[in-house]
Structure 1
Amino acid sequence: MTAHLRAFLGADDAALTHELTHGGPMESVLSAIGRPLSDPARGALAAELATATGGLLEEELGAILLSGLMGYHRLIDAARETAAEPDVTRLVALDDHRVEVVSEPHLDVLVDRERVYELRLTLCVAFTVQGLAATVRAGRLAHVRIGRCTADVELSWAQRTLLRRSDLVDAPLIIRLGGGVPVPRAAEPEHARGTARVRPARA
């Protein structure tokens, strides 16, 4: 799962500019600036907002999925057990679960070095996972295999959807982690990009 959020959403500069300026936050930003801008200045501002917003979407889907899984209590328990017994390997199975990571990235708009507007976005990335098996060794997540996975990604502003896509991702999905990734000893939301949770898909 190597796709970046931006590619998955089809969020090129043109798409982002359109969503930010047509019913999006552009008018609020202009209002906060408090003075009229020429058409070239408005165009430059819109392009810069699109570029900055696109920069918030550069993370890979696989990295976000892993960050969400790190809060799963069975992985945490397996990490504790194998950290105490380095020769022991645990296989953790998970079926029909939903993994959600929600974050609120923001952009500061500055005029004459003073912030005039804070553009707060909401990014929700949800995975419906079926048939996951993870290997935990020496307190580290070493390998993940997923039979089927659907990603649902939404970027919104002020409760208005700017971009959204739901689609299947690589299946079967295999994530090899080399020497492994440390699993936190407790569910810590800050480990992910935002608040993360794992729950049965039917809940």
Structure 2
Amino acid sequence: MTDVVDLRGLFFDDPADAAGAMTGALTADDLGGVLSGMPEAARKATLSRIGDAAAGLLELDLTEILCSGWGRHGQVLAAARAGMAEPETQRRVALAAHAISVVHRPSLEVHVGAQTTATVPLEVRLEMVIRGLQAVVRAGRLAGVEAGTCDIDGSLSIAGRPLVRRRASLALPMIVHLPNGWPLAEGEYQAG
């Protein structure tokens, strides 16, 4: 079991290594020849900045990804809608083992002056299997999650080239409270 919190922590043993790994995976050819006329030092500096920016895109919190997935779960949505009529009532929904698949495709644009000269695509794929959870729903919002585990199989590509694939098992905290809740139902109850 691991204490992974964001995508950077999932894909890299030392999250500080993310930028270097992303930079190392890039070549000048990935930028369509934009860097071909640059001196070597300028080329390396540009690739390094792109690597830093790409690593920054991996700061997506896994809790937010999971909450987003649970927000599409039929039983949780039904409890959220029912909770709209009784905003003070808290409902628990036992979530059987279920899977959440996520594909995230951000990209970075490289500009020379005011002109976009290249686009560097990234792709994050996550397959998550969650077991032993209960969703706590109140006033149309996911108010918390109790217990459970999450097995993650994730892959990361940059410029169409696979960079890393990782598997991790997370012990979800015994209780996760979401103080403001995660909106599930349209027009969720708004307290005073």
Q: Same fold (TM over 0.5)?
A: yes
Residue 165 of structure 1 is matched in structure 2 by 166
Q: CA RMSD in A?
A: 2.0
Instruction: After superposing the two structures, state which structure 1 stretch, 85-94 or 39-48, moved more.
Output: 85-94
Alpha-carbon separation, structure 1, partners of 2:164 and 2:98: 24
1:141 alignment partner in structure 2 = 142
Q: Does 1:98 align with 2:104?
A: no
Q: Is the 8 A contact 1:2 1:60 kept in 2?
A: no
The one-letter amino acid of 2:89's match is V
Alpha-carbon separation, structure 2, partners of 1:45 and 1:134: 45
Q: 1:89 Cα shift? A: 2.3
Equivalent residues in 2 for 1:1-203, closer than 5 Å: 3-10=5-12, 12=17, 13-21=19-27, 26-31=28-33, 33=34, 35-157=36-158, 159-185=160-186
User: SS of the counterpart of 1:71?
Assistant: coil
- The answer to whether the 8 A contact 1:95-1:131 is kept is yes
Q: d(CA) in 2 for partners of 1:143 and 1:171? A: 12
What is the TM-score normalised by the length of structure 2?
0.84
Structure 2: segments with no counterpart, 5+ residues: 187-192
Structure 1's consecutive aligned runs of 4 or more residues displaced over 6 angstroms after TM superposition are none
How much has 1:87 moved relative to structure 2?
Answer: 3.5
Deviations 1:18-75 (A, max 9, x none): 2224xxxx412052x1742211011101101110101100121111111121111211
SS of structure 2 residue aligned to 1:47: helix
Identity %: 36
SS of the counterpart of 1:121? Answer: strand
Aligned length: 180
Q: Name the structure, 1 or 2, with higher relative contact order (CA <8 Å, separation 6+).
A: 1
In 2: Cα distance, 1:180 partner to 1:41 partner: 47
Secondary structure of the 1:120 match is strand
Q: Secondary structure at the match of 1:8?
A: helix
Q: Are the structure 2 counterparts of residues 122 and 47 from structure 1 closer, same or farther at C-alpha, using a change threshold of 3 Å?
A: same
SS in structure 2 opposite 1:16? helix
CA distance in 2, matches of 1:155, 1:53: 11
Change (3 A) 1:176 1:92: same
Residue 117 of structure 2 aligns with an amino acid whose one-letter code is V
Match of 1:189 in 2: none
2: distance between equivalents of 1:153 and 1:108?
24
Q: TM-score, normalised by structure 1?
A: 0.80
Unmatched runs of 5 consecutive residues or more in structure 1 = 186-203
